[in-house]
């Protein structure tokens, strides 16, 4: 059911990890990279070679990058349903990456559970921080079926992730090894917390052309 990869500065995503992510989730890829002023989003990659070609220039140690590889559970296998999806917050546009399933009814193959969820949130135009705090609550966890999500605001370098994640050599993947909330400030190291504590590391386990979104 998809995988999200969060890469901080100082790291690069190994090529074998990108290929593995695609092989397990081959229904499209999208990503966002922080350019120092805003998040640049590219999505709609439906072939591995196009996905790798697009992400390669941004997979450097001096970049902050979030990538999503889709395994379709709802909606068609089309470029428009690759992640991330835009969300309108009170502060402006943001983007949502989702790994999991929302219990939402769709009306056609041109929608997915995540696209419908993003549109519904946009209608409310919530405050970004308030929305992220809500995602950590028990009510939200039950509503989202323990999904893993990453949320960003277009002109903020902060990355908010919630759910169970796996850390692999400083790169974060949506999995079930860790349960924490993750916030990156501009120059800070990742802060891992759940009920005000950090979880120690345990065993590791590797677990058609796109378009730029303006």
The answer to whether position 213 is within a domain reads no
In a domain, 203, yes or no: no
Give the rounded distance of the alpha carbon of 115 from its chain centre: 13
For position 145, which CATH number holds?
3.60.20.10
Count: domains in the chain: 1
Q: Is residue 85 in some structural domain?
A: yes
Which of 66, 60, 71 has its CA nearest to residue 20? 71
Confidence band, pLDDT 50/70/90 cuts, at residue 188: very low
Residue 209 falls within a domain, yes or no? no
Task: Give residue 143's domain range.
Answer: 3-198
Kindly state the helix (H) or strand (E) to which residue 130 belongs, with its residue range. helix 128-135
Top-confidence residue, 80 or 141: 80
pLDDT of residue 59: 98
Domain presence at residue 204: no
* pLDDT score of 206 more than 50: no
- Residue 32's φ and ψ, nearest 5 degrees, are -130, 140
Percent of the chain with pLDDT over 90: 59
pLDDT of residue 37 exceeding 80, the answer is: yes
Residue 212 lies in a domain: no
The yes-or-no verdict on residue 180 having pLDDT over 70 is no
Does the pLDDT value for residue 190 go beyond 60? no
Spatial distance between the Cα atoms of 137 and 199, rounded to a whole number of angstroms: 19
State yes or no: pLDDT of 77 exceeds 70.
Answer: yes
CA distances from 8 to 59, 146, 161, 182, 184 (A): 10, 24, 13, 12, 9
Q: What is the pLDDT of residues 91-127, one digit of tens each?
A: 999 999 999 888 787 767 889 999 999 999 999 999 9
In a domain, residue 47? The reply is: yes
Could you tell me if residue 137 is inside a domain? yes
Q: What pLDDT does 84 receive?
A: 98
Q: For residue 192, is pLDDT > 50?
A: no
Under 8 Å between Cβ of 148 and 100? yes
Burial of 134: CB neighbours in 10 Å, binned 0-12, 13-18, 19+: middle
Instruction: Tell me what pLDDT residue 175 has.
Output: 61
CA proximity to 97, closest of 167, 193, 163, 180: 163
- Per-residue confidence (pLDDT) for residue 103, from 0 to 100: 78
pLDDT one-digit tens code per residue, 4-32: 999 999 999 999 899 889 988 999 999 99
């Amino acid at each position: 059911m998809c995988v999200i990869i969060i890469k901080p500065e100082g790291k690069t995503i190994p090529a074998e990890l990108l290929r593995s992510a695609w092989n397990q989730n081959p229904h499209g890829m999208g990503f966002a990279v922080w350019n120092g002023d805003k998040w640049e989003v590219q999505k709609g990659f439906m072939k591995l070679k196009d996905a790798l070609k697009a992400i390669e220039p941004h997979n450097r140690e001096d970049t902050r990058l979030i990538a999503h590889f889709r395994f379709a559970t709802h909606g068609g296998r089309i470029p428009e349903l690759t992640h991330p999806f835009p969300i309108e917050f009170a502060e402006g546009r943001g983007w949502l990456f989702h790994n999991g399933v929302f219990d939402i009814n769709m009306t056609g193959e041109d929608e997915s559970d995540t696209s419908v969820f993003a549109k519904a949130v946009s209608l409310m135009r919530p405050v970004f921080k308030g929305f992220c705090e809500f995602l950590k609550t028990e009510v939200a966890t039950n509503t989202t079926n323990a999904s893993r999500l990453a949320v960003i605001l277009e002109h903020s370098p902060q990355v908010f992730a919630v759910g169970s994640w796996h850390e692999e050599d400083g790169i974060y993947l949506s999995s079930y090894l860790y349960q924490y909330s993750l916030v990156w400030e501009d120059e800070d190291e990742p802060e891992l917390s759940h009920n005000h504590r950090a979880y120690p590391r345990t065993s590791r386990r590797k677990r058609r052309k796109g378009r730029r979104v303006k």
